[in-house]
Amino acid sequence: MKHLLDVQNLSVAFRGDDRRERTVVDRVSFHVNPGEILCIVGESGCGKSVTALAIMDLLSRNGRITEGSVRFDGRELIGMTAGEMDQIRGSKMTMVFQDALTSLNPVFTVGRQLTESLRVHQGLDKKEAAKRAVTLLEKVGLPDPATMMKKFPHQLSGGQRQRVMIAIALSCDPKLLIADEPTTALDVTIQSQIMSLTRDLIHELNMSMILITHDLGLVAEMADRVIVMYAGQIVETADVYSLFHTPAHPYTKALMGAVPSIYDSSDRQLASIRGTVPENYTELSGCRFADRCDHACEDCRSGAKSEGTFSVSAEHTVRCILYAPESDKEVTSCV
């Protein structure tokens, strides 16, 4: 199958106050198939959002892509002029952010913001755009779309705002929707409404989606395939069933053990991961999770295979020395 999005060895660096550049996303490679929902999961500060912003060419001024390639629908995005990128961003490839209140412009009505992209990208006139906007608002399940068009963002609830954001994102029939923690600020009941709506729309419109989240529950509900990120690197890639039933990387396993379940009545302690994500993680050699890992040994920090990625099965790869071939002996000494 031809990939819709192909990211190869993408690295992003940010210049700090001291003018030194720090690599935040480190040689990340993945792809998105047509019609699939890919989840990127990890804790805050592990580079999920930066990866998405880099793909959309929305990095802030002190950040830049230092290497790698991003191919979307057969075209290389890196090195594109701003004008060429403008035609893709917001039209073929769109993004929904976590905080809908700050993403919407407070001084324009919903209608104005929704018709803007239709007029710019699709060349519709005012009347046609308004007509299409009403059908879009209907599609995202907003009651009374005609009055909704005249409302300002502050007059809407959090869930309604996020629905408007989705309507704007879908307005130009994009091929790829990137959603960055779209429901983190919402209540669970509203989250489940928005997520089932998004999933239905993605399938109905035959689009692909990258969903960035830290919530493993949401991953299980939404994803076809999953990427687990830690400290700027991809540590595990798998389809959603393999990931939840046979997680490989110690970090993935630890994350799953740390989620309290509402059905668990045993009085056990939650498995927590000691310590925190290291700062300045690019300066670490070998596995970046080693300091928090129960299976860590000397080889993890300095061994030849400590930075390798190995496959567990056909579609399941993991960045952990425990899965290195012909090193079984080494491994047992490790554990």
Collapsing DSSP to helix, strand or coil, 239 comes out as: strand
- Collapsing DSSP to helix, strand or coil, 59 comes out as coil
270 near another protein, rule: CB under 8 A: yes
Q: Rule CB under 8 A: is residue 190 a binding residue for another protein?
A: yes
Show the tokens assigned to 61. Answer: 């001024």
Q: Nearest CA to 100 among 168, 188, 182, 218?
A: 182
Binding segment for another protein (CB under 8 A), chosen from 88-96, 123-131, 259-267, 310-318, is 259-267
**CA dist 110 → 91, 117, 132, 173, 267 (Å):** 18, 12, 13, 19, 49
CA dihedral sign of residues 315, 23, 45, 158 = negative
Residue from 62, 87, 241, 315 touching another protein (CB under 8 A): that is: 241
| Stretch in the footprint of another protein (CB under 8 A) among 96-104, 146-154, 238-246, 312-320 | 238-246
- 273 scored as a contact of another protein (CB under 8 A): yes
64 three-state secondary structure: strand
Check binding of 229 to another protein (CB under 8 A): no
Q: Which of residues 15-34 bind another protein (CB under 8 A)?
A: none
84/187 with CB nearer another protein: 187
- Choosing from 60, 81, 261, 332, the residue that interacts with another protein (CB under 8 A) is 261
- Min separation Cβ 73 and another protein, Å: 28
CA 238, distance to chain mean position in Å, is 15
Taking the least distance from each CB to another protein, the nearer of 81 and 261 is: 261
271 part of the interface to another protein, by CB under 8 A:
yes
* Per-residue interface string for the shown chain with another protein, residues 128-167, x marking contact by CB under 8 A: -----------------------------x-xx-------
CA–CA gap between residue 1 and residue 31 (Å, rounded) = 11
How does strand 225-230 pair with strand 233-239? Answer: antiparallel
Q: How many CA atoms lie within 13 A of 295 on its CB side?
A: 18
User: Site for another protein (CB under 8 A): which residue of 1, 82, 262, 335?
Assistant: 262
Q: Is the dihedral of CA 3, 7, 209, 248 positive or negative?
A: positive
Residue 167 sits at φ, ψ, to 5 deg, of -60, -40
Q: Is 216 in the site for another protein (CB under 8 A)?
A: yes
Which residue reads 């239709």 in tokens? 118
Of 11-19, 71-79, 124-132, 266-274, the window that binds another protein (rule: CB under 8 A) is 266-274
Residue 43 binds to another protein (criterion: CB under 8 A): yes
Residues 192-211 that bind another protein (CB under 8 A): 192-193, 195-196
- Reading the block at residue 84, the tokens are 């060429």
Strands 176-180 and 208-213: parallel
Is 108 a binder of another protein (CB under 8 A)? no
Binding residues for another protein (CB under 8 A): 43-44, 157, 159-160, 187-193, 195-196, 214-223, 240-241, 244, 254-265, 269-274, 276
